[in-house]
Amino acid sequence: MSNPYGPPPQQPGQPGQPGQPGQPGYGYPQQAPQGVPPQQGGYPGQHYPAYPQQQGGQSPYGAQPQQGYDPNGYGARPELAHWGLRVGAFFVDMLVFVGIYVVMLIGLVIDVNAVRAAIGVLGVIALIGMAIYQLIQEGRTGQTIGKKALGIRLLRELDGRPVGVGMAFVRRLAHFLDSLPLYIGWLWPLWDSKKQTFADKVCGTVVIKG
């Protein structure tokens, strides 16, 4: 006589019972369907997307980083800006300041002293304001007005991120190194493998297309 308080007898082949044919019970590994890759941890039925690489070619979980910089974060190595683009961007930036100077010179020919003085003060304020604006834009986005017009960008060589306002200012000061040895530092990108000036090498920066 069966025990009325005991568990029901197991039937051969009943799904959900361990050790029997059919579907495995609790505690047994689930078999993945054919053609479906095995899951990496987590609970059955969960699927985790593949994370793109972080900026700088680094894996989000400490894998071996790639060489160089990667502003896109997907392993695509950007193209370095050649010397002609950098020179073109420099002249576009200079044209912005020349335009302000021209307005100031026009103000000097005005025969009204009050107007002449006002234009002179406003011109100086405009020059200082434009210099600060250019510095902030280059530090935060990698692009001055000239760089944006020519489609190039200043980034950190290590991880492909904007250099920041502070480093952008330091890099401008470091340009004196490009001028010291007969201005050869300004020409160095013509043959350098990373197309860097001396200031770029000291500050760890590169200029790329994009």
Residue 42 has pLDDT above 60, yes or no: no
Give burial (CB, 10 Å; 0-12/13-18/19+) of 92: middle
Which 8-state DSSP code applies to residue 80? B
Average pLDDT over residues 32-44: 47
Query: Phi and psi dihedrals of 205, rounded to 5?
Result: -125, 160
Amino acid at 47: H
| Residue 152 pLDDT grade (very low, low, confident, very high; cuts 50, 70, 90) | very high
Q: Which residue has the higher pLDDT, 118 or 30?
A: 118
| Residue 139 pLDDT grade (very low, low, confident, very high; cuts 50, 70, 90) | very high
Residue whose structure tokens are 């530092």: 185
d(CA 58, CA 60): 6
Percentage of the chain beyond pLDDT 70 is 63
| Residue 54 pLDDT grade (very low, low, confident, very high; cuts 50, 70, 90) | very low
Question: Which pLDDT score is estimated for 10?
Answer: 54
91-125 pLDDT, tens per residue? 999 999 999 999 888 887 776 778 788 888 898 99
Percentage of the chain beyond pLDDT 90 is 50
Amino acid at 202: V
Residue 63 has pLDDT above 50, yes or no: no
| Residue 167 pLDDT grade (very low, low, confident, very high; cuts 50, 70, 90) | very high
Residue 29, helix vs strand vs coil = coil
The lowest-confidence range among 16-30, 44-58, 143-157 is: 44-58
Average pLDDT over residues 165-175: 96
d(CA 148, CA 164): 17
Let me know: does 53 contact 75? Beta carbons within 8 Å. Answer: yes
What beta strand segments (E) does 14-112 contain?
A: none
d(CA 62, CA 88): 40
Average pLDDT over residues 176-205: 94
Question: Which pLDDT score is estimated for 33?
Answer: 52
Could you tell me the two tokens for 142? Answer: 């990698």
Residue whose structure tokens are 């568990």: 7
| Residue 173 pLDDT grade (very low, low, confident, very high; cuts 50, 70, 90) | very high
Question: Which pLDDT score is estimated for 43?
Answer: 36
d(CA 175, CA 23): 72
Distances from the Cα of 180 to the Cα of 36, 85, 196, angstroms: 63, 23, 16
